[in-house]
Structure 1
């Protein structure tokens, strides 16, 4: 019977298998939402890398697995970026090459119990280092962070308030490593079981003692989702539909109305008629209105995406300009070198302008809101800083209309549950065409989700929250701990692993008389 190594002797066959097993974790995310699958999804990838004949081959297993993960996680970009999707996936997939090497270094061959025990901490730390690097906005941001797959799990959301999504990623990878050791390394099953028990004990304690947010009287917040509006004059027709839906909220005692990203396609300074119509809506509904203006400004150059608060007398002057732009979607990195992407896909023909800082707005009746725009809701630090600055409610104005029939709208909406749980603040995710959703301060869903087939104005009873979660107080400490673990292992553990990998020294050869042989004889 052929071993796994013999069956995968061909480099291309092995690379194909690596890409396939690397893609498996995406099934834990929306739309499949098989959250439980995340606990074993990495096991085939770990088993493959540990059987690599050389460290170089293990690095390629990591690279190809990362390529498969990136393609699967961002497959909905293919109709827009075409072949460039694979180029980006290949570049980002290289981040997993050191991880594949690390898996083989710690679990390859017949690892000792010490190496297997170290793998339960070092391998998840290596994964977190990858998520840290690829979370840089210029590389696409933290979309598809493994811990985000647990957005529906109450216990996981509670742990997110302690260490953010990063802590969830670490624990999910640690579980996968433990399962891989139980399956493939018989002599190390005891430390694997001990690691599982220790993880369960620590996480249970964190879950039990994590503070709950203090909630105040509920405020009625309405989301206006106009649905798909296409064709000529779509910006004007979308505004008209949003206006009509907002009028339905009159008499419903709403305190705040939120429109989605790019809900206003005109600069309100150039279109005072629209500003007057918005002010009239505010008076008619008795609510403040948060719109999102996506237009070229009359008072400064360039196109901005801005959250603008409108009251009964018109725009209040509170404005937040989007800071973190979507690579290729809203700007082209190094346009002089990569500008050709606009000819093979739907990359931005003109770079949007960046904002300079986050803003907390007073939306009346003492309600303080912290707006974000589009995929800024993927960045845990942005919502954490808004909570630190006194926001009672977090809001994200989004539009995934380009990817309407894909997994993207559901994936994006799910991030709101994590940001709410991390900060202890309710999160409102308002879109143009779905999926729109609201989450309470523990990440629990509030009211109905508005799917991609819905056009409606929906009212939610939202509980503003106060207090500070451990994650808001201590920040990204799991990332710092992971880097510390990798540094300590690099200094102290790598040498021991190299010595143990060589195996025990062979006994000295003996002469026919039984005495040790001497060199030269």
Structure 2
């Protein structure tokens, strides 16, 4: 049965229907992320939402469609939080969805009615730019951080990883939205077909040029790094039981010539200064295996007040080889923003009863006995922040290490979503990344974002050794930073200035003037 193009242009009549359609169409891009991993859906997933917004009868309705679509996207990407935050997950989705309000207005302004060639061409730049502004604002850690950036859905696509080395995840997001905008123009506006085809061609040419001519990292040998994943420790909630399992798995690495052994987040549940026995056991493991251990302590510190999450490097001489305290905490999971206002979240879900403390600076550590190997540790969702890994590389890190635990969300999309970020950060920085977890998914990616060895799934309790390729040099993204974001800001500012100038130059309508035209090209009815 053939569906006519006119049916695609028809908008739902009822406001309730529009609201439901906006939420569903906004949620579609979530299917491109792990665990569904329908990455090929991303270039078309926004089209239904764009068509809905452009059909809005008023700017207010378009903004509302943007809000509900954004809330649908946020809820779909973070739905695995429901068992922990319950109804508060919906509240957070609605609050973050409001960031798409101005984007909805922008889409209707540029795509609504019958835009000419220049307005259609401008939409191919400005609609993606507006989307990046939403991603930029919600990337602020107090708003939840950059989890679910659209470009991150392409973590296993080699061309996208090459693009990420040029402009970070932002460039990938920009091009995805540009392709969606061009396809929406093709479907809804035959008159703008030439601009739409040109837009798709430009995006394809950019991807082709990146694949053919983008610089590649220079390989400089390899290093042997092991990941220890203890898995779920059934029936025992004690951190000591988990430590025992990790110790036993680590002992099996003796004679494997590893240079570094990485344990997951919260792998040690007591401050080592308070447990000399654990210090001795870890030091003995470093001597027995011939490799330094990077463990993660989640406990109150003895030398200062409060709970910290810390990466601690233990060498053959003890746990004084390096320490990094986590800087960016998970909202509601590790602290509650504005606790006096939002503290009620603890009564409806598993929100943090006590706020953890923040570290003050990133740290690059030199691994003892590994020929000067320097590592840049990140903890948990810090891997979602492109600027953190970029900073560590500029400070001299040769390997990025991520220590994580998604055991609370073991049977959800969360473990796969989190592990996929390692590929993107590696490709952006030309540095391999180790993603070590307690219960999976653990993974290793090389300097181009390529997978190294096998992934450790959520059903694994094991230790694995990887020959990790090293690289030198700075990628264009490390060197030039967020130039795509700055360019998008400039484009939106120029557009805003042009709109203001046009409104100033436009003469006021006088007697006998023809009626004003609406955004859809029809004559506005005079008010009675």
> TM-score with structure 2 length normalisation?
0.93
- 1:405 corresponds, among 404, 411, 420, to 411
Matches within 5 A, 1:29-428: 29-363=33-367, 364-428=370-434
Within the alignment, does 1:479 sit opposite 2:459 as a pair?
A: no
CA separation of 1:94 and 1:329: change in aligned 2, threshold 3 A:
same
CA distance in 2, matches of 1:498, 1:142: 38
Alignment-derived partner of residue 453 in structure 2: 447
The C-alpha deviation readout for 1:426-471, integer Å capped at 9, x for no partner, is: 0100000000000000000000000001000000000122101000
Q: Runs of 5+ in structure 2 lacking a partner?
A: 516-528
The C-alpha deviation readout for 1:165-190, integer Å capped at 9, x for no partner, is: 00000000000000111111000000
CA distance in 1, matches of 2:10, 2:74: 28
Secondary structure at 2:458's aligned position in 1?
A: coil
Q: Runs of 5+ in structure 1 lacking a partner?
A: 510-521
CA distance in 2, matches of 1:5, 1:188: 15
Alignment-derived partner of residue 513 in structure 1: none
The C-alpha deviation readout for 1:123-181, integer Å capped at 9, x for no partner, is: 00000000000000000100000000110000110010000000000000000000111
CA distance in 2, matches of 1:400, 1:498: 55
> TM-score with structure 1 length normalisation?
0.94
The C-alpha deviation readout for 1:358-414, integer Å capped at 9, x for no partner, is: 000001311100000000000000000011001000010000000000000000000
Secondary structure at 1:463's aligned position in 2?
A: strand
Structure 1 residue 229, shift from structure 2 partner: 2.0
Structure 1 residue 493, shift from structure 2 partner: 4.5
Secondary structure at 2:119's aligned position in 1?
A: helix
Q: Is the 8 A contact 1:5 1:52 kept in 2?
A: no
CA separation of 1:257 and 1:111: change in aligned 2, threshold 3 A:
same
Alignment-derived partner of residue 472 in structure 2: 466
CA distance in 2, matches of 1:446, 1:95: 37
Q: Is the 8 A contact 2:230 2:249 kept in 1?
A: yes
Alignment-derived partner of residue 440 in structure 2: 434
CA distance in 2, matches of 1:495, 1:110: 22
Structure 1 residue 3, shift from structure 2 partner: 6.5
Q: Is the 8 A contact 1:106 1:497 kept in 2?
A: no
CA distance in 2, matches of 1:159, 1:56: 36
CA distance in 2, matches of 1:158, 1:305: 33
The C-alpha deviation readout for 1:290-336, integer Å capped at 9, x for no partner, is: 00000111111100000000011211241000000000000000111
Structure 1 residue 218, shift from structure 2 partner: 1.2
CA separation of 1:272 and 1:32: change in aligned 2, threshold 3 A:
same
Q: Is the 8 A contact 1:115 1:497 kept in 2?
A: no
CA distance in 1, matches of 2:210, 2:85: 42
